Each structure stands twice: as C-alpha cells, then as structure tokens.
Amino acid sequence: MARLVMKFGGTSVADLERIRNVARHVKREVEAGNQVAVVVSAMAGVTNTLVGYTRDAAALHDAREYDAVVASGEQVTSGLLAIVLQDMGVEARSWQGWQIPIRTNEAHGAARIESIEGQTLIERLERGQVAVCAGFQGVAPDNRLATLGRGGSDTSAVAIAAAIQADRCDIYTDVDGVYTTDPRVVAKATRLERVAFEEMLEMASLGAKVLQVRSVEMAMVHGVRTFVRSSFDDPDAPQISADGTPVGTLICDEDEILEQQVVTGIAYSKDEAQISIRNVADKPGIASRVFGPLAEGNINVDMIVQNISPDGKTTDITFTVPESDYERARKVIEENVEEIGFENIEGATDVVKVSVIGMGMRSHAGVAAQCFEGLAEKGINIRAITTSEIKISVLIDSAYTELAVRTLHSLYGLDG
C-alpha cells in the first residue's frame, strides 16, 4: 500500500469520456490498496476561454479578478471527476485550493505556494476517500483566489504530494516518460527509467517540456519522487517495463539510481539570441555596467562569455537572452554605449543552445572535450560555452541543431 498523488492535465480531462478514462486510472490504484489524491487541470481550452474573457473585459485587468475568473476551470473538473468516481463506486470528494487550504503569496496570476495544510486530506485518505484537488490555485493571504501561472498544476501536484507525505507523485501526460532527447529529432532516443532531480531540473530549464521547472524544483527540495507516465495508457492494464513496474520515468534522488550514466540526456533550446559587444575597455566593474541595465530592464541573461582580446587592453563580451527580449536588450546596451565604452555590437537570433546533461559528469573527466571534438568533426562552430557541474551547454548556429543533437546523442552512447 502506498499513498499516491495522480496528476492529470487539460488534454486528459478534455471531455467526460476522457474524465471517465482518468477515473479508471484512479480506480485501478484504489483497488490496488493505495491512498490516492488526484490533481486536475481545467478541461483543455477552458482556461484559454476564461483568459480571453478577462482580456476582452479590459486589456489591463486586476490580477485578483483574473484569478477569480480563471480558477473556476479547475473547480468544474474536480467536481466532475468526483462525480464520475462516485458513480464507479469509488468514494471521492473534490477540494478547491481554499478548502484544503493551499496558501500562496500575494503574487496574483503567478502566485507561489507558501504552505499546504495536509492534515485534513490525510484524514480523508486514511478513511479511504479519494481527494480530487483543483490544480493551479490556492488562496492568498487576503482570502482571495490565487492562480499559480500557466502549467501550475504540476507544481500543485508536487506540493500536495509533499504536504501529505505521498510515496510518489504520478504525472500523467501525453508522453510516456522523459527521453534521452527529443524523439522528433533523434529517432533512436530512448526513455529513461530514472532521472535524478538535478538532471531533470537542467532538462526542464533547457527546453524539455515534460514538466514545469518550478514543479521539479519543488520535487527536489522536498524529495518528492515524481513519476512521469502516459494518460493514454490502458487504465485497466497499463504497460509494464522489464522490471515489472509501469512504463514511465521516475524522477528521484540520485541515491535511487544504481547505475548512473555519465550523460543522461541531450537538450536543446531555440529560444535564444546572442549579443556580442566588441572591444570593451577591460577594467574592473565593466561586467556590472553591462548587465546592471539589463537586469533593471527585467531581461533574463543566460550564457555569459568574456574573453580577453589579444592586446590585453580590451575585451569581448558575449551573452544570450530569450529571443523575445533580443531587440530590447540591444537597445539597452546601445543606450548605455558611453557608460560602457565599446566599439561595436553584434547579434544573432538564428542560434540554438545544445546541452549535455548528466550527474556522472562530476566524476568523469573529458566529457566536455569529447563534446567539442564531436562537434568539430562535423564542422559545427561553437559560438559560446557554459558549463556547470552536471551540464555542458554550447551555443551554435540553429541550422546545425539536429546534426549536433544526433551527433552528441550517439557520441555518449544514448542511441537505443
């Protein structure tokens, strides 16, 4: 017997037929003797409709009222799933964020969960009742509804799992797990049985869209074992892996991963733009003069590379920003030309960041060198490099995306 959280997104609850399918998944776990809390999103499309209403009501609208309108979507799904479960003979009860309660901060529209009172839910679970929780929302200190921002239901699920001390948080999604890389790019990509929290955090940050970054952070902080699996799997007879467990990917502490690979996956992100400032006077404080104004403009800088130029007196600074901030970032730098003191500014938006990720990297030398060699052999020019303990990222021309990802996937022995 285990205590589980099962999370289902908008496409999994898009209509009553799919809600019945979700209920069968839940019933299977209940009949296996598990205590189950379910977290649901709004029916697919409903949140967009509600957001559209608020925009039509006023272009600039109060975030508190936006939250009151938009939070209604999950309320409907939670009630309907409870009804369907009861109809299948499974005792169930819906729970809105304010009823549990899930307390958030005051950042309406993009609130963060501050605490969850798990005791009431635990009592119900122990009585054998399924708790169907509305995802994506909580109640702010002013007793008003607060939503967590798009995709927040993953975060709700992990946070509830932490609050009720669940053994596992199952994220049912439209893919059957986390892959070594994007299967649309590399046909030989394979599903990972297990991924460490830190690796998943890098993958989620770097563009693997299976899980919201915030939910992975929360899972890591609270040690919530999170299992990504397919909601389209047969609810009554789910597919089984070689080891007898359901098909999916477990995101867990690295201690749970017996045979840690050096490299776990290859991620890429096309939402990058590069800006290079040439011949900046190389003196103390120059970096803050470049990046201070960008921070003030709320521009998120990702990679930063600074090289000393041959003459030793000037330097080149290259950095990347999200593609949507490219024009604004260039303008900020150009406006500060006298303050910074540089010769010229260059940029490119047809770039991609490719990343090699793996916990095993920490204890294996030569992973980075192998990456650079592999790309060089294919004639792929590297524009910038950043590394962390468990990740190497290179910025390259976007035309080489697929070639680079396939090359690295094969190089590190990930081809299935």
- Chain residues that interact with a second copy, rule: CB under 8 A: 16, 19, 50, 53-54, 56-58, 60-62, 64-69, 71-73, 75-76, 78-80, 82-84, 86-87, 93-94, 96, 98-99, 143-145
- Distance CA(228)–CA(249), nearest Å, equals 5
Q: Please say which residue, 143 or 344, places its beta carbon nearer to a second copy.
A: 143
- Residue closer to a second copy, measured from CB, 96 or 226: 96
Nearest residue to 42 (alpha-carbon basis) of 90, 10, 78, 8: 10
List the Cα angle 383/388/389 in 5-degree steps.
145
| Cα torsion 112, 114, 117, 121: sign | positive
CB 277 within 8 A of CB 369: no
For residue 286, what are its two tokens?
């120059």
**Residue type at 415 in one-letter notation:** D
Q: Report whether 97 contacts 145 (CB < 8 A).
A: yes
Instruction: Give 93 or 112: the residue with its C-beta nearer to a second copy.
Output: 93
CB-nearer residue toward a second copy: 147 or 180: 147
Cα gap 128→90, rounded to integer Å:
9
Residue 108 vs 214, nearer CB to a second copy:
108
Cα dihedral 68/74/78/81 (nearest 10): 150
Tokens of 157: 């699920």
20 or 150: whose CB is closer to a second copy? 20
CB nearer to a second copy: pick between 90 and 160 = 90
Shortest distance, CB of residue 78 to a second copy, whole angstroms?
Answer: 7
| Closest approach of a second copy to the CB of residue 57, in Å | 4
- What is the closest distance, in whole angstroms, from the C-beta atom of residue 95 to a second copy in the complex? 9
Token pair 């500014």 in the structure block, residue: 345
DSSP per position, 19-56: HHHHHHHHHHHHHTT-EEEEEE-PPTTHHHHHHHHHHH
* Shortest spacing between CB 414 and a second copy, in angstroms: 44
Nearest to 265 by CA among 374, 371, 181: 181
Question: Phi/psi at 140 (nearest 5 deg)?
Answer: -85, 170
Name the one residue in this structure whose structure tokens are 């900020």: 332
State the nearest-atom distance from the C-beta of 86 to a second copy, in Å. Answer: 6
**What distance lies between CA 92 and its chain's CA centroid?**
30
In whole angstroms, how close is the CB of 96 to a second copy at the nearest point? 7
* Minimum gap (Å) between residue 16 Cβ and a second copy: 5
Q: Closer to a second copy by CB, 84 or 122: give it.
A: 84
User: Taking the complex as a whole, how short is the minimal distance between the CB of residue 219 and a second copy, in angstroms?
Assistant: 28
Contact residues for 292 (Cβ-Cβ < 8 A; gap 6+): none
The token pair at 344 is 């010229």
Residue 107 Cβ, how far from a second copy at the closest point, in Å?
18
Contact status, residue 23 vs residue 84, Cβ threshold 8 Å: yes
Of 74 and 182, CB closest to a second copy: 74
